[in-house]
Structure 1
Amino acid sequence: MSHTPVPYIPENAPFSPAQRAWLNGLLAGMFSASPVPGLPALPARASHSVAVYFASQSGTAERLAKKFAKELKTHGHQPQLACLSSIAPADLAKQTHAVIFASTYGDGEAPDSVKSFRESLLAESIVLNKLKYTVFALGDSSYEQFCRFGVELDERLAELGAQRIEARVESDVDVDPPFAAWKDVTLARLSAIDTEKAPALSGSTAVTAPASPSTEAPRYTRDNPFHAEIVARHALTNDISSKLTIHLGLQLDESVKYEAGDACGVLAENDPALVDETIAKLGFVPDAPVEVPKFGSCTLQQALSHHYQHTRLTRKIVQAFAEKTQCKTLAALLPAEQGAHLDSFLWDRGLIDLVLEYPGAIESPQELLAMLPRLAPRLYSISSSPAKHGNELNCTIAVVRYRSHNRERGGVASTMLSERIAMGERVPMYIQPNKRFRLPQESSTPIIMIGPGTGIAPFRSFLHEREALGHKGRNWLFFGERSASTDFLYEQELTSMAASGHLTRLDTAFSRDQAHKIYVQDRMIEHGSMFWSWLAEGARVYVCGDASRMARDVDQALHSLIETHGAMSADAAKEYVSQMHDDGRYHKDVY
């Protein structure tokens, strides 16, 4: 008779020996068909009502929350699934058990829908002594403020008296493997609560889960991509423009579905020339065998080509070189108060810069891989409409090329898609749904779209989708770029739609076509009265583009015009915008 393998807590898990022994005993009792010799008999698993909350920007946190809620049901618990935006902080006091999935995007920002909740939680003094909770934080380690919102949530709940069920996990962009490991331990601890006292977790140290490929791969995901043929590629910018933006067409088949507003995930490959140079300067051989966690054995060349990010530095890489070389210059960048200097140092350098400056610092290929982040897929807002373009998916891609520290450099995916893959070749890709960036269900609802540069991508999709489906809602687009003569992306399409009346208003802001720079937020203020009238009639507002500057400036302009033309105080305008978030009338797809 065969038995289900018993899961166990590995030696390198973030638990003390006593905690690990207790959890291994619990898991053995839960999964074994017969008692395990030497372990105490375990009582029946407890059943709890568990609030499962999510704060999601692109849908990943929501997906994990739903998956965990199903697991809770399987284990005999009663999950209550909700977005954090749907509750007030005081509602947490009514719960005894809570699991929170919290995303961070941009420069440490909370998802748009939960910003009001965050502000209230940080401001209010509520007693949460009865609450047992855990936080699964999602983020991108290439940003300095990695998982900041999840960290804030975890620390604030603890300050208010709540007790941790399990230490916070900080997951990088590849969430499925750390989620799978965390899920098993968290379910075990939940089942043990009130049946046998579990060893307490010391302190608030988080478990940082590295990115690694998932072993469970549904069809056409980042772990099992569709290989789409490149069927279209041309420049959208003029030859004399200072930058290159391209239109890319990928051929799908009927098995790959997407909606207007979704993103295309591209599994990029590092520049082979840079990979070869890096290996040579390190003094290693390309076919040196290495182990890639959750993937297995491969050569060093394969690892640096397909699995690891090395064109951008991270704090971890700098710290590793500082320790290996005892370099005071590098070490001086690492204290928290030197964050701005570290950011400046990281911004335009890659691994190759440190390899050249500190030869011999890295002694083995495996030591090198241990300091590198995993190579994450690149997400591009889809600029085509399934109703209009059928099985051809379009992306609008700014090709990153620049020179710094006497080296020519380029974006990993953008240069691959524009230069290193030929027409007719195939690109590994998948669809990343963005359920929070959808056209209104009511086809007559007016929409206002604000998308400078490649932020135009989802709005091209929206406009073609509404036109193909015969939607009668009014459409207003704010588009910005450097110059109308060189950088007016999709100019012919947009002006044609404006002439036909499908695009009700087209307002452009070309920053360098006049003595003083003009941006999309300036056009919003300029047309503030009409903007307010559209809002008063129920228009939805969509913003796509840079999170750190443009999206903030647009948000400030929105508050300002509501104050002015809605005759509101600053606080009232803030409440109006907050209500727009809550009502699903203010959407951002920012990065």
Structure 2
Amino acid sequence: MATPESDPAMTAPTTGSPRRALILYASQTGTSEDLSLQLSDVLTRHHIHPTVLSCNELTPLSTLPTHALIFLLISTTGQGEMPDNAKLFWRGLLRKKLPAAWLGEVSFGVFCLGDTTYPKFCWAGRMVGRRLLQLGAKEVVPRVEADQSADEGTEGAFAGWVEVVRSVLRQKWPLMDGTEEIKDEVVLESKWVLEFAGADGEADGKTDGEADSKGEVDGMEIMRKLHAPRPGAILATVAKNERITTPEHWQDVRHLAFTLPEPMCWSPGDVLSISPKNFPADVEHLLALQNWTAIADRPLVLKPSAHLAPSEIPPCPISTPISPLTLRTLLIHHLDITSIPRRSFFSLAAHLTTDSTHKERLAEFADPQWIEELWDYTTRPRRSILEVLQEFSSIRIPLPRLLQLIPRLRPRQFSIASSSLSSPTSIELLVAIVRYKTVIKKTRLGVCTRYLASLLPDADADADTISLVFHGGSLGLSPSHLRAPVVLIAPGTGVAPMRALLQHRLLSPSPAVDNTLIFGCRSSRADYFFSSEWTSLQARGALQLLPAFSRDQPAKRYVQTVVRENAGKVWAALAERGGSVFVCGSSGRMPSAVREALVEVFAARGGMRREDAVKWLERLEKEGRYRQETW
């Protein structure tokens, strides 16, 4: 067994250079990663060299004390849990043999990302901050907890936190005499650049040109048949893509099934990660706006900027580029051209136009003091990068700046709606296609669900394939969850993981039939997902079905209404028979409304005061008997 003297994680820390800093991010969807790159630019302007890593990429953990200045951007996922790319890091920090002064030479700041509609708001960031303090680190930048559901989202909170970071840097790490901060109006060098490839496949050093494309290229074929490489990806065939809401219903919800190349095993609550793809029409629009149509299909090379030393090269923003890599394939598969632009987009875009009016307006959106105007222009109307480039048509993007300006197109996760016990070679999803009109009467389409809606199943002559990556879910199922009674509360597409759990429980060697499903939708006719399955299970005595149709009667009935109406059944399942409750669905008002209904049930049926009922629910959470998966 290692002694404190021989264990590398417990050796005396070595103070890092005050002109260097470590930025660690924990991200499930990519937001904190994006913000960490913005923070790295802030540090660079103060002549502090940043190293940006996901938390798990800091290996070995024993190097943590060697960094004098650390910034952590930590998102919270699931039931107050760490994102997947921070779990190893967090387990390492929790090692009991780490001494109290292990990080005594470290200064740090934490920016937390969360959503107040979840029960444990910013819990992961809070835990990391507290643990660093326990290990002797000094918090030099006060922790900020950003609420995604707030009017200004995380962007407003981050802008304020960055100004505090700047102030702290100036006070504690002042620049040497004769050295000045790099001003915001100076554009920093790109760390990774695109160049056109020469005949031998190497970069030819040119960044633009007017060479003609070789013949006509089918953008739809590129979208349908090519898939960007991803670690752990499998290629499945589309077997079903069926709309299961009525044609007149306002929402298009799809039941999708994919045939897997080999039998696989997954757990209820697991999710599939799917890479979105931009539609060729949008890509063609951007190519035309930038006068790139003629060069759209020239081969590209992605390489680190020549001004960086080998030790300064950050991770590649596109870890495994698609092949062939061209402007067209890059825009279809890798860059999020329909996303809402962040403040950093406008900061750089202001330097990419010679139109004085456009330059002034873009610079205003990049100014932190106009954050509300930025929100009104971008987030409120859901205005996309493509639309901004159309409105500010004078913007011209140099090829080396493209990855610096437009963010990466990130995978989306969807709860699996079937059990591997049902079929290990077929997997199903229940997906609501995102389509809505904004306050400015523009129709918006979800980039990933639009792609999913377009997939052709194998009933057609030429079935599509899709790239899938499996991930563990946050339901945190234990063996007891597959045996003890369950109360499943699921409005809308939240029923997807509930269906997988029910199938798993009923197809296990010892089927568990003490199942209660409280399912909510608008109408028994329009959007009652899998209704025939539920009625069949109920007829067999394997399910107690309690539907909530909110629009089928004058008084609206929601899932929380049904919880109250069936207080005795809910209390008996949880308190008398040791069951668990699962809540899945939208992260709006529903989760808090369900919690309130459960507290009322516990108080009334358990003869408790309200505060004791709240504690009883919290105890269920600690025991893993109350689980929530919302999005």
1:230 corresponds, among 232, 238, 242, to: 238
2:498 corresponds, among 459, 464, 474, to: 459
SS at match of 1:349: coil
Evaluate the alpha carbon distance shift between residue 329 and residue 56 of structure 1 in structure 2; reply closer, same or farther with a 3 A threshold: closer
Structure 1 residue 509 corresponds to structure 2 residue 548: yes
How far 1:456 sits from its partner (Å)? 0.5
How far 1:360 sits from its partner (Å)? 1.1
SS at match of 1:387: coil
1:576 corresponds, among 599, 610, 616, to: 616
SS at match of 2:422: helix
For the residues of structure 2 that align with 1:257 and 1:221, how far apart are their CA atoms?
Answer: 22
Evaluate the alpha carbon distance shift between residue 507 and residue 268 of structure 1 in structure 2; reply closer, same or farther with a 3 A threshold: same
For the residues of structure 2 that align with 1:303 and 1:335, how far apart are their CA atoms?
Answer: 34
- What residue is the counterpart of 1:546 in the other structure? 586
How far 1:462 sits from its partner (Å)? 0.8
For the residues of structure 1 that align with 2:266 and 2:604, how far apart are their CA atoms?
Answer: 40
1:526 corresponds, among 547, 565, 572, to: 565
SS at match of 1:308: coil
Evaluate the alpha carbon distance shift between residue 467 and residue 129 of structure 1 in structure 2; reply closer, same or farther with a 3 A threshold: closer
- What residue is the counterpart of 2:55 in the other structure? none
1:272 corresponds, among 272, 277, 280, to: 280
- What residue is the counterpart of 1:309 in the other structure? 336
Query: What TM-score does the superposition give when structure 2 sets the normalisation length?
Result: 0.64
Query: What TM-score does the superposition give when structure 1 sets the normalisation length?
Result: 0.68
Evaluate the alpha carbon distance shift between residue 401 and residue 148 of structure 1 in structure 2; reply closer, same or farther with a 3 A threshold: closer
- What residue is the counterpart of 2:265 in the other structure? 257
For the residues of structure 1 that align with 2:109 and 2:506, how far apart are their CA atoms?
Answer: 37
Q: Which amino acid aligns with 2:447?
A: V
Do the aligned partners of 1:290 and 1:365 also contact (CA within 8 Å) in 2? no
Do the aligned partners of 1:388 and 1:464 also contact (CA within 8 Å) in 2? yes
Q: Which amino acid aligns with 2:541?
A: G
For the residues of structure 2 that align with 1:252 and 1:333, how far apart are their CA atoms?
Answer: 49
SS at match of 1:484: coil
How far 1:391 sits from its partner (Å)? 1.4
Evaluate the alpha carbon distance shift between residue 106 and residue 260 of structure 1 in structure 2; reply closer, same or farther with a 3 A threshold: same
How far 1:406 sits from its partner (Å)? 6.1
For 1:265-324, what per-residue CA distance to the aligned partner results, in whole angstroms no more than 9, with x for missing partners?
A: 111211111111122133333236574734469322222211111223133345555676
For 1:89-143, what per-residue CA distance to the aligned partner results, in whole angstroms no more than 9, with x for missing partners?
A: xx99967449999997763667749859959999xxx986934689999999999
For the residues of structure 2 that align with 1:10 and 1:106, how far apart are their CA atoms?
Answer: 24
1:338 corresponds, among 372, 377, 381, to: 372
Evaluate the alpha carbon distance shift between residue 479 and residue 320 of structure 1 in structure 2; reply closer, same or farther with a 3 A threshold: farther
Evaluate the alpha carbon distance shift between residue 60 and residue 112 of structure 1 in structure 2; reply closer, same or farther with a 3 A threshold: closer
Structure 1 residue 243 corresponds to structure 2 residue 243: no
For 1:16-51, what per-residue CA distance to the aligned partner results, in whole angstroms no more than 9, with x for missing partners?
A: 9997599xxxxxxx99xxxxxxxxxxxxx99xxxxx
Evaluate the alpha carbon distance shift between residue 409 and residue 60 of structure 1 in structure 2; reply closer, same or farther with a 3 A threshold: same
Q: Which amino acid aligns with 2:434?
A: V
Query: Structure 1: where are the runs of 5+ without partners?
Result: 1-8, 23-29, 32-44, 47-51, 73-78, 83-90, 159-163, 168-199, 204-209, 213-219
Evaluate the alpha carbon distance shift between residue 150 and residue 274 of structure 1 in structure 2; reply closer, same or farther with a 3 A threshold: closer
- What residue is the counterpart of 2:115 in the other structure? 107
Aligned residues: 487
Do the aligned partners of 2:80 and 2:122 also contact (CA within 8 Å) in 1? no
SS at match of 2:480: coil
- What residue is the counterpart of 1:489 in the other structure? 529
For the residues of structure 1 that align with 2:496 and 2:346, how far apart are their CA atoms?
Answer: 35
**Bigger mean CA offset, 242-251 vs 377-386:** 242-251
SS at match of 2:78: coil
Do the aligned partners of 2:489 and 2:559 also contact (CA within 8 Å) in 1? yes
Do the aligned partners of 2:492 and 2:585 also contact (CA within 8 Å) in 1? yes
How far 1:498 sits from its partner (Å)? 1.3
Mapping of residues 41-440 of structure 1, within 5 Å: 57=78, 61=82, 63-65=84-86, 67-68=88-89, 80-81=94-95, 96-97=102-103, 107=115, 112=120, 115=123, 130-131=136-137, 145-146=153-154, 222-254=230-262, 256-285=264-293, 286-287=296-297, 289=300, 291=302, 293-295=317-319, 298-316=325-343, 317=345, 320=348, 325=358, 326-327=360-361, 331=365, 335=369, 338=372, 341-342=375-376, 345-404=379-438, 405=440, 407-423=442-458, 424-438=463-477, 440=479
For 1:31-83, what per-residue CA distance to the aligned partner results, in whole angstroms no more than 9, with x for missing partners?
A: 9xxxxxxxxxxxxx99xxxxx9996538983654554479x7xxxxxx6449x
Do the aligned partners of 1:103 and 1:110 also contact (CA within 8 Å) in 2? no
SS at match of 2:325: strand
**Bigger mean CA offset, 368-377 vs 337-346:** 337-346
For the residues of structure 1 that align with 2:469 and 2:534, how far apart are their CA atoms?
Answer: 28
For the residues of structure 2 that align with 1:391 and 1:491, how far apart are their CA atoms?
Answer: 24
How far 1:153 sits from its partner (Å)? 13
Do the aligned partners of 1:284 and 1:365 also contact (CA within 8 Å) in 2? no
Do the aligned partners of 2:241 and 2:455 also contact (CA within 8 Å) in 1? no
SS at match of 1:390: coil
How far 1:584 sits from its partner (Å)? 0.6
How far 1:508 sits from its partner (Å)? 1.4
Do the aligned partners of 1:246 and 1:399 also contact (CA within 8 Å) in 2? yes
SS at match of 2:340: coil
Evaluate the alpha carbon distance shift between residue 506 and residue 465 of structure 1 in structure 2; reply closer, same or farther with a 3 A threshold: same
- What residue is the counterpart of 1:176 in the other structure? none
For 1:220-240, what per-residue CA distance to the aligned partner results, in whole angstroms no more than 9, with x for missing partners?
A: 994341111111222221222
Structure 1 residue 449 corresponds to structure 2 residue 488: yes
For the residues of structure 2 that align with 1:567 and 1:120, how far apart are their CA atoms?
Answer: 38
For the residues of structure 2 that align with 1:575 and 1:59, how far apart are their CA atoms?
Answer: 17
How far 1:337 sits from its partner (Å)? 6.7
How far 1:388 sits from its partner (Å)? 1.4
SS at match of 2:546: strand
Query: Structure 2: where are the runs of 5+ without partners?
Result: 1-19, 23-39, 52-58, 67-71, 176-189, 193-227, 303-315
How far 1:346 sits from its partner (Å)? 4.3
Evaluate the alpha carbon distance shift between residue 119 and residue 142 of structure 1 in structure 2; reply closer, same or farther with a 3 A threshold: closer
Do the aligned partners of 2:521 and 2:527 also contact (CA within 8 Å) in 1? yes
Q: Which amino acid aligns with 1:413?
A: C
Do the aligned partners of 1:498 and 1:506 also contact (CA within 8 Å) in 2? yes
For the residues of structure 2 that align with 1:140 and 1:395, how far apart are their CA atoms?
Answer: 29
Evaluate the alpha carbon distance shift between residue 113 and residue 422 of structure 1 in structure 2; reply closer, same or farther with a 3 A threshold: same
SS at match of 2:507: helix
